[in-house]
């Protein structure tokens, strides 16, 4: 007679296979776990440049506090790789912190990079402007807002944008956060707190990603209040109030 597997051994094998299949289904049906397990956004670097999904988000031209440009690039590359491979849960806050000799860029209190005076000079920019440019390009990639995002737009609004800044530092927002003018955030009267918006300036084509964390504006003829950082990123800081297009991202 042919050898037969004992009943208990067959049962255990069947349960093991079933458990593995169930675990696989759970992981890939859970978007958070799936994104963390099989990342599809690739961070690379080459000759001082940092790329995400093949697009250059920053070019390191100065060694800063490191011994070489390559060492500094490698450090930034590792930080960004960790951000995209293991994205934080809950509210995600991209912001910069200006200091006298550098501007630091963070995501949820984790340092991503610093901008030094030499970086600004080599890029014909100011430290704050360059830090905001680089960080906005990173968060544009983080939220996948370059190619094919149109299908995720659930609402499109055209209206006036104003901004609020340093005099509100330390005040509590509608979601109990401390207002930071250097974070990519915004206030809106009706959109859900936590909404991710892509705000565009039609005059210059510049775009910025913001997270709704407050209620406003008080002026009823204005659609949105941007943080100082967001206003600078799309070039409406000087005008104070300007028309923008707001896309609500799913």
Q: Give the CATH number of the domain where residue 231 resides.
A: 2.40.40.10
Mean pLDDT, the chain, whole residue set:
87
Indicate the number of domains in the chain.
Answer: 2
Pick the last residue of a domain from 95, 114, 142.
142
Q: Convert the pLDDT of each residue in 20-58 to its tens digit.
A: 444 343 333 343 333 333 346 799 999 999 999 999 999
Confidence check: pLDDT of 244 > 90: yes
Phi and psi at residue 231, to the nearest 5°: -60, -45
pLDDT of 10:
46
Distance CA 67, CA 41 (A): 29
135 in the same domain as 48: yes
Tell me if 157 sits within 8 A of 202, measured CB to CB. no
**Helices 127-142 and 69-85 sit at what angle, rounded to 10 degrees?**
40
- What is the mean predicted confidence (pLDDT) over 153-182? 95
Give me the sheet containing 110-115, strands edge to edge: 94-98, 103-107, 110-115
Residue 77 resides in a domain: yes
Tell me if 26 sits within 8 A of 78, measured CB to CB. no
161 in the same domain as 137: no
162 in the same domain as 116: no
Pick the last residue of a domain from 117, 142, 167.
142
Residue 199 resides in a domain: yes
- What is the mean predicted confidence (pLDDT) over 189-200? 98
* Nearest to 141, CA basis, from 71, 87, 201: 87
176 in the same domain as 198: yes
- What is the mean predicted confidence (pLDDT) over 214-221? 94
104 in the same domain as 62: yes
Distance CA 52, CA 118 (A): 24
127 in the same domain as 165: no
Distance CA 141, CA 156 (A): 20
Phi and psi at residue 7, to the nearest 5°: -55, -45
Confidence check: pLDDT of 193 > 80: yes
Pick the last residue of a domain from 106, 125, 142.
142
Residue 34 resides in a domain: no
Distance CA 112, CA 94 (A): 10
* Percentage of the chain modeled with pLDDT above 90: 80
pLDDT of 40:
61
- What is the mean predicted confidence (pLDDT) over 145-166? 94
Helix, strand, or coil here: 122? helix
The boundaries of the domain holding residue 185 are 151-249
């Amino acid at each position: 007679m042919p050898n037969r597997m004992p009943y208990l051994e067959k049962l255990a094998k069947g349960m093991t296979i079933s458990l593995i299949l169930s675990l696989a289904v759970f992981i890939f049906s859970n978007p958070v776990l799936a994104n963390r397990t099989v990342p599809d956004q690739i961070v690379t670097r080459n000759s001082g440049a940092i790329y995400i999904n093949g697009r250059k988000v920053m070019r390191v031209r100065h060694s800063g506090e490191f011994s070489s440009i390559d060492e500094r690039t490698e450090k930034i590359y590792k930080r960004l790789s960790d951000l995209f491979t293991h994205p934080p849960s809950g509210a995600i806050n991209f912001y910069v912190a200006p200091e006298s000799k550098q501007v630091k860029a963070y995501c949820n209190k984790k340092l991503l990079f610093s901008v030094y005076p030499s970086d600004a000079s080599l890029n014909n920019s100011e430290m704050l402007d360059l830090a905001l440019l680089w960080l906005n390009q990173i968060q544009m990639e983080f939220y996948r807002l370059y190619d094919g995002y149109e299908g995720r737009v659930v609402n499109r609004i055209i209206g006036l944008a104003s901004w609020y800044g340093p005099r509100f530092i330390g005040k509590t927002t509608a979601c109990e956060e401390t207002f930071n003018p250097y974070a990519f955030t915004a206030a809106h009267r009706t959109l859900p707190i936590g909404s991710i918006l892509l705000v565009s300036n039609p005059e210059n084509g510049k775009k910025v990603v913001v997270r709704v964390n407050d209620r406003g504006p008080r002026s009823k003829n204005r659609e949105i209040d941007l943080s100082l950082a967001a206003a600078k990123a799309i070039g409406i800081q000087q005008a104070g109030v300007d028309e923008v297009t707001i896309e609500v991202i799913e």
